[in-house]
Structure 1
């Protein structure tokens, strides 16, 4: 029984690995894709006794690669100290590459767009910029930001409002940016 399970896992690996590697390459690039896919298969191997390998295994593997890719990109973004706007761009890119939307491929990383977003963020007043980066780059809640900076929650909310308003106005001609910041604005005031 155990030998049959091992053979099944090996067959799934041989059949799915090239497809998943191609998919992961589109998400995270060539350098990281192999690690992402190998991590997914290592996890599958560890859980082989509890995972049912059937018709839905390919969908499960695609979703696992997608999740690992998101986690890797978020980690890279934080590690490389990118701005919060870049996190949103990567998340938007990943949404277009989801298995359910594979046919919808959007060109999202555009040097001019990136420079414009960075430029707009750098134009923020120092305190607004600091609050904005803590919220989006470090994914801190408003209360945590207030405690960290030693300012009131109301002041944090005012800085966030001012920063988001400025960025929306400054980037209003960019449809993608408008969508990103509008969505984030809603999430800021509902949390």
Structure 2
């Protein structure tokens, strides 16, 4: 073993326990061990440029202190990034929540309206006309009969036929309509 290696081993055995105790004042033990090992690695890298003397203890403690602070700063950056990322994703979830987002609600309502209007437009002509007068123009069956100059019984038959068709055609939307009505 050469002189540098022997000196290094002596310094390691002499100062490692104290440096580890010091580093654990800042960090958990597993991280403190890494810091102290890095401190001795730094010492080894500089073995040709550092003179081992009375100041070596202060030098080792200074390196350990600096490495501990850097580790703490790095953790803070990671934590702030994590907190920011979590906040971003929570905002994103909130934005895309249909219950919280008017744009998405509007899109859903619009899609639902298109489906309902498409189904209404599939009705036979007379049936569609009577249904629209009833549900879209809010006319009573008697008013529809008078407006179209047909019997009340004919209006009721067309309404029955329209509702029966729409119930089957829009069956899958009943649940969605129910949810919208709850809002």
Larger Rg: 2
Asked if these proteins are the same fold (TM beyond 0.5), I'd say no
Normalized against structure 1, the TM-score is what? 0.41
Whose RCO is larger (CA < 8 A, sep 6+)? Answer: 1
